[in-house]
Amino acid sequence: MERFLSQAANYIYTKHSHGLNELCLVFPNRRSGAFFTQYLQNRIDSPVVGPKTTTINELISSYSELHKGEKLQLISILYDVFRKHTKTTETFDEFYFWGEILLADFNDIDRYLVNAKDVFTNISDLKEIESIFDYLTPEQKKALEQFWGSMAVVDKKGFQEKYTFIWDKLYPVYANFKKELYENGLAFPGMADRSVVENIKDAAYEFKYKKYYIIGLNALNACEKRIFTQLQRLGKAVFLWDFDKAYLGDTKNEAGYFLRENSIEFPSPEDFVFDAELFNQRKNIKLVAVSSVYGQSQQIPNFLTETRLDYKEKFDNTAVVLADESLLFSAMGAIPENIGTVNVTMGYSVRNSVIHGFLMLLVTLLKNKRKEGSGFVAYHRYVTDILNHQLLGDSDSEKGKAFVAELKRTNSITVDLSKIDFSPLYKQLFQLPEKVEEYSHYFLKVLGMFHQQFKASETNNAMLLEIIYSIYQAVEKLGIVVKSVIDSQKREISEVVYFRLFSQYLGQVSVAFEGEPLSGLQVMGILETRCLDFENLIILGLNENKWPRKFTAPSFIPFNIRKGFGLPGIDEQDAMYGYYFYRLLQRAKNITATYSVIKEGMGTGELSRYGFQLLYDSVHRPEMSNLDFVFANDPVRAIEIDSSKNIVQRLFEKNTEEYPLSPSAINAYLHCKLKFYLRYVVDLPEPDEVKEEIDGVVFGNIFHDTLEELYKPFVGKTISKNDLENMLKDRVRLENEITRQIAIHYLKKKKPIKGPVKLQGKTLLIFENAVTYLKQLLRVDLGVAPIAIISLEEKYKRWIDVDINGAKTSICVGGKIDRVDQVDGQVRVLDYKTGNVDSLVFSKITDLFDGEIKKPKKEILQALIYSWGLSKNLSNYEIQPAIYSLRSLFADNFSPDVKMGKNCVLFSDLKEDFEINLKKLVAEIYSEQNTFTQTEHIEKCQYCPYSVICRRF
């Protein structure tokens, strides 16, 4: 199989072996020029001056005297012109997006040599189309009739009136815009091209080469056609088209759309003969479905094994084509080491680099900074994301970690950026500029410091340094453009516009891989394959949204008008990608294409239309298969920790009057034995995180401590109805106390609180909730007053004798009781519950100690343990456990009484039974034969802080 470029090289050498230096060869891209040169060198056996190789864009640009302006410059000028003609009140920020669309439309108009005045003509009478646009084809006229005919039936006072107002202004805007650019020596690309072709003279000296060979092009715009027509008239143009009759002769196949016209308008020489019937020859085609996007790369080793007999370490033998260019790194990793030389023709986009990711974090910080005093503050996540980034791993990372830990400890929602100054790099990162024009300088200083740091490091990562340097150049260029526009046009550039440009400039940057371009396995994107032929092809990412590409730029010019004037649209884009596909396959022998079946984001999980065309509309019968991955998906093993002497000894040592076995610990054990082990035996702390809003635990602490402060003056006294009424009336005191507790528990302010406390956002809502609940609790107390307050938030403990491991042992059990009071001669052990309490009723004592129950009555057990601990000190009193569940306070029949069955519980009635079960449970906890196991009820693990260890959630 002889490659197209090889055939072209043979033809040209045969014709011009003694005058190669008099030729100019025009290719779709530089890569095809490099391949052609190699084929030509294979024919040459003595030193010669070779032909000039160029691309079509470079050829036209070489004749232009206009300087192509940067997008920001162009849109800034366009904004002034647009505002002048439309009297718009839009700001430059608001216009910028529309300016990009207008600029793209004007670019298309000029590249396709369309009469802009005709495009923007408002047709009120369809009969005018025949007279005004007599130069258009019947199909183009029909497209215009369809658009303006539909406009005629639209509400004239609504859409049509607004649309036609802007439409009527677009030609004056276009004309005036180009006039302004000409006066400044600037142009947009299409304007520069049009200027060249409209000033071409018939004088032959303008084209200095004897012959211009147009090789392997496909879609041509009107400017390119005008250039080629001029060369054709001068007898200087030779056109070498690459096609196959399988799609060229099939008018329904979009792949031949452009060449059907080009081959007639610019025919190839009759003596340029190549085999144009290769596509239908026998080929080994395989379409592989993969249930992973990046997993598609794992087909590469299989493909290379299957084609090993046809594989040669030549530059035009085997290619990996990435329809999805994000697969580059996974593809590189999948190529076996024994394959030899690998050449990556496509650059590595810096968008995929760690440096770009870090800069985007800085962009987020800049967007969300807030001026406070003389400096800036920012939301904690924007700061910690930067401090925890891997790029800072070698730069005072311990200080960074300590700072993050302090943020968590103090629950700092916002961070004063001036405090982050523990190294020159950190200081630079968080010393944010105030003005947009200073942003580029800020990024350049950061990039410069990173470059110095990595250059001095032992690893000296060459690729990372190259990425930083490439990004530095792009940002430097952006900074120059922004400064030029601000200085010369007095334009104010906002953050929105700057960061849009920042993203666009970085999006264009790629870092080239080192390698020999004309040797070994080739790895390339779709556009790099133009004019190239390979015997073995593996295409990764042959999905409908990847090949063809589905992106179409927005346009002010409606579809039918674009079609009517021959401007490109989605159909032309599809035809272009169709040609790339069929042309690439026509000379190949072994072809494997993978596609992902995963539906996520913009991915449809669908095979490209070209794959289906091979299946159902070609002579080929591709083999369909799946790439299966074998996963060793062993079930997560249950975690069991057997107790031991050491564990029991540790529990004994931890059990003191100061640190008794608490009701919370007992409930944790019943909830999940492993959770008890991790928390109370291993002392594994729960992960500390900044609480962005007041959660249940913090709200409970705020509520408890507020009540304690309000009732503290009445400890040892009786609080009357009048006292409670006065509290309810004193809203200022209630609100001040709640605010103070929020400052202590949520904002982590140190006592005493100094200065005003400012509440905002969701904290204000929580504050109002706390006020509402607090007032309702006071009303509930008012209903049973007078109340004798015995104690508030006081620790009670009691020793219990149990038989542990065959020996009598005393264990201290106790905790802090929210409130002990006396109402109507009845002592109550009162527990406040800000969380959800399902019921205050239980059936029997043993149920409270049963850890296998899905929803244990932990609130009741806690109240009864408090009652048991208090019963020894108040043996002359009946003790009644009671629970104030905040969520039930507003119920009409609210009662805090704990009930067994239908009867209110007096602790003396069940004391003996309760103590037996408590001793049994304590003995189990401290037993050497005990096993700390996971709960059987997995739903309990959902919010467990140790769920990562168990791997259940």
127: pLDDT confidence band, cut at 50, 70 and 90? very low
Q: What gap in Å lies between CA 592 and CA 265, rounded to an integer?
A: 36
Is the pTM higher than 0.75?
no
Tokens of 805: 């491991």
CATH superfamily of 284-347+516-627: P-loop containing nucleotide triphosphate hydrolases (3.40.50.300)
pLDDT band at 560, cuts 50/70/90?
Answer: confident
Each residue's pLDDT tens digit, 932-952: 999 888 888 887 888 888 877
Of the listed ranges 198-202, 503-507, 801-805, the one predicted with least confidence = 198-202
* Domain covering 4-65+196-265, topology: Rossmann fold (3.40.50)
User: Among 435, 303, 297, 446, which residue's Cα sits nearest to residue 362?
Assistant: 446
Of 382-396, 495-509, 889-903, the least confident: 382-396
Per-residue 3-state assignment (H helix, E strand, C coil) for 697-745: HHHHHHHHHHHHHHHHHHCCCEECHHHHHHHHHCHHHHHHHHHHHHHHH
Range from 75-84, 270-279, 367-376, 460-469 carrying the lowest mean pLDDT: 460-469
Measured at the CA of 315, the angle between CA 295 and CA 585, to 5 degrees, comes to 60
Is the fold of 4-65+196-265 the same as that of 284-347+516-627?
Answer: yes
Query: Does residue 762 surpass a pLDDT of 80?
Result: no
> What is the percent of the chain with per-residue pLDDT over 90, rounded to a whole number?
55
If you average pLDDT over residues 23-29, what whole number do you get? 96
Output the pLDDT for position 200.
80
- For the stretch 736-760, pLDDT in tens is 999 988 888 877 777 777 777 777 7
Q: What is the pLDDT of residues 649-691, one digit of tens each?
A: 999 999 999 999 999 999 999 999 999 999 999 988 876 665 5
Per-residue pLDDT for 152 more than 70?
no
- Tokens 């509402």 correspond to 772
Q: Supply the pLDDT for residue 126.
A: 41
* Of the candidate ranges 148-162, 229-243, 339-353, 530-544, the one whose mean pLDDT is the lowest: 148-162
pLDDT in the model for residue 304: 93
What average pLDDT does this structure show over 113-139?
A: 66
Give the span between the Cα atoms of 664 and 835, in whole angstroms: 14
| pLDDT at res. 507 | 87
Domain ranges within the chain, ordered by starting residue: 4-65+196-265, 70-185, 284-347+516-627, 351-463+491-511, 641-950
List the structure tokens of 572.
Answer: 């032309």
CB 209 within 8 A of CB 231: no
Structure confidence at residue 697 (pLDDT) = 80
Give the total residue count for the chain. 953
* Average pLDDT for the chain: 87
Among 260-264, 462-466, 882-886, the minimum mean pLDDT is found in: 462-466
Q: pLDDT tens, 40-67?
A: 999 998 888 999 999 999 999 988 888 9
Q: Is the pLDDT score of 692 beyond 60?
A: no
pLDDT over threshold 50, residue 82: yes
What confidence category does residue 880 fall into, taking pLDDT thresholds of 50, 70 and 90? very high
Q: Give the pLDDT score at 128.
A: 52
Torsion angle, CA of 592/595/596/599, rounded to 10 degrees?
A: -170
Separation between Cα atoms, residue 609 and residue 577, nearest integer Å: 11
Under DSSP, is residue 8 helix (H, G, I), strand (E, B) or coil? helix
Residues with Cβ within 8 Å of residue 946, at least 6 apart in sequence: 674, 675, 678, 679, 684, 686
